Homo-oligomer: A and B are copies of this chain.
Amino acid sequence: MRARDIAEEYPVVNLDADALDAARLLVGHQLPGIVVTDTSGRPHSVLPGSQVLGFMIPSYIQDDPSLARVYDEAHADRVAARLAGRKVREVLPSRPTELPAVDPDATVIEVAALMARLRCPLVAVVENERVSGVITTTHLLDLILPRP
């Protein structure tokens, strides 16, 4: 089994994609993060769900739990609205999370070794500078764990 055989097709988004759409894709596919490409389709970074939250929640609230506590439902709506009209590139931090990549011929052990070393929940399969699929840790474990 090689990376190309086990990769799953998930939507990728580019830097100019709508951030709210990107967040909804992440939720809809129950992904740990969504793969981001540059505007010419080359792999760029990964946008984890916690980073989307990091953009939505102002940093003065992140840093002060007691302030977060007094936020009521109305504020929750305002937090959600922060994503509206934003592009993915605006939501990415200044130093985006690097996208771990393997080539389609990578063995299962190679993919597992990369995930283990980087402690990352997904890797992209990249061929000719294009993302051809994604392998998540849970999918890989599902493949290599012995059957009950």
Q: How far is the CA of A24 from the CA of B142 in the complex (A)?
A: 8
- A-B contacts, 5 listed (Cβ < 8 Å): A23-B141, A51-B119, A61-B113, A65-B110, A68-B114
- Kindly provide the distance from the CB of A102 to the nearest chain B CB, expressed in whole angstroms: 9
Interface size class of A (residues with CB under 8 A): 35 or more
Interface of A is mostly: helix
Contacts of A77 in B (CB 8 A): 146
Q: How far is the CA of A142 from the CA of B31 in the complex (A)?
A: 12
Is the Cβ of A52 less than 8 Å from the Cβ of B107?
Answer: no
Q: Which A residues have a C-beta under 8 Å from some C-beta of B?
A: 1, 20, 23-24, 26-27, 30-32, 48-54, 56-57, 61-63, 65, 68-69, 71-73, 75-77, 79-81, 83-84, 106-110, 112-121, 137-138, 140-142, 144-146, 148
Interchain residue pairs A-B with the least CB separation, the first 6: A49-B137, A71-B109, A54-B116, A53-B116, A68-B113, A68-B110
Is the Cβ of B113 less than 8 Å from the Cβ of A50?
Answer: no
Is the Cβ of A54 less than 8 Å from the Cβ of B23?
Answer: no
Is the Cβ of A146 less than 8 Å from the Cβ of B20?
Answer: yes
Is the Cβ of B50 less than 8 Å from the Cβ of A119?
Answer: yes
Q: How far is the CA of A84 from the CA of B146 in the complex (A)?
A: 9
Is the Cβ of A53 less than 8 Å from the Cβ of B137?
Answer: yes
Chain B: which residue is nearest A20 at the CB level?
A: B145
Contacts of A80 in B (CB 8 A): 144-146
